[in-house]
Structure 1
């Protein structure tokens, strides 16, 4: 038995939509780009660092921004949430220990596109005498920025779209079949 033209068209549309959603995303020119950081990637700082600053080519969304600053001891030194003003995102810090410092960040462009990255710098500043390292849970993994991101949402959206289109096509086919009989 051959399917009616409308059911075949709906199935073809569902297949095309699935392919479009599962195809790799192409870079867009409108997304925010990181222009510079302070401290810079690979820098050695000799003065205490109270914050890490990111400068972008356009505004980013503060509520979706995450910055994790990890010392050589594996503890997180981020102090509260990052703040965004114009094209600058600033993450306040607790007093840093000496040695390598890793900064992992994730934010969202004004157009809704997530961007992320990481860099390191070396803290050679004298440790403040009254600063105690932040509490760390023994055996706990260092804090990280979630990088699973939008790909999983894209696949889930594609599956939902295919199911909806198949159900709509089946309902249309059933309706035409019962009304013709």
Structure 2
């Protein structure tokens, strides 16, 4: 009788530990970091007037001291005309005059919680001929561009998930071990109290 009761207690406790670990796994994605909500110009849009700056809007506050934004033209030239400036949830980057063609914007910013956020998007410039003749080509810079956001982000997410999975596994194992030790102590105490027949 006592053995069945103990087995039932251990099983219920093990299910409780598993449910707690599962709850941690489900709750983890809710703690999201800053994400790019919009941009000016918009991703994959076509611009028909001359731009003076690129604006990125994020879901949370961002820090300007570690922000990097790179604008690359169709010939590989760079078009930043200054340093990016952060204001609340936005990052503003002044740009030099752009010619018609496709452009790539790569960014890497640090959110208020210290988490780096990076990505990229493209847009197209299609200026009228009269305005096209007044634009100057971009400057080919030797400084390295922002690292490939897709590759870096996937590696960072993989590392983060791996670390969190290991931590949760150890936490679950420790909890289950504590339950088994407690159950063993209950068995020993009951055997001492039960009179010999």
What TM-score, normalized by structure 1, do the two folds share?
0.58
Once the two structures are superposed, what CA deviation does each residue of 1:144-175 show, in whole Å capped at 9, x if it has no partner? Answer: 22432546524531331122221232144236
1:161 aligns with 2:168: yes
Equivalent residue number for residue 192 of structure 2: none
Structure 1 residues 15 and 99 mapped into 2: Cα distance closer, same or farther (>3 Å)?
same
Q: 1:125-136 maps to which residues of 2 (within 5 A)?
A: 125=132, 126-128=135-137, 132-135=139-142
Alignment of 1:42-121 (within 5 A): 42-44=45-47, 47=50, 49-55=51-57, 59-62=60-63, 67-74=69-76, 77=79, 82-93=84-95, 99-105=101-107, 118-121=121-124
Query: Matches of 2:84 and 2:11 in 1, distance apart?
Result: 51
Change in Cα spacing, 1:12 to 1:110, as seen in structure 2 (3 Å) is farther
TM-score, with structure 2 as normaliser: 0.55
**8 Å CA contact retained: 1:97, 1:133:** no
Q: Secondary structure at the match of 2:148?
A: coil
- Aligned residue pairs total 171
1:37/1:54 contact within 8 Å kept: yes
Which structure would you say has the larger RCO, counting Cα contacts within 8 Å and 6 or more residues apart?
1
Q: 1:8 to 1:53 in 2, by over 3 A?
A: same
8 Å CA contact 1:10–1:169 kept in 2: the answer is yes
Change (3 A) 1:178 1:62: same
| Structure-2 residue corresponding to 1:170 | 177
Unmatched tracts of structure 2, length 5 or more: 190-197
Partner of 1:147: 153
Judge conservation of contact 2:13–2:179 (CA < 8 Å) in 1: no
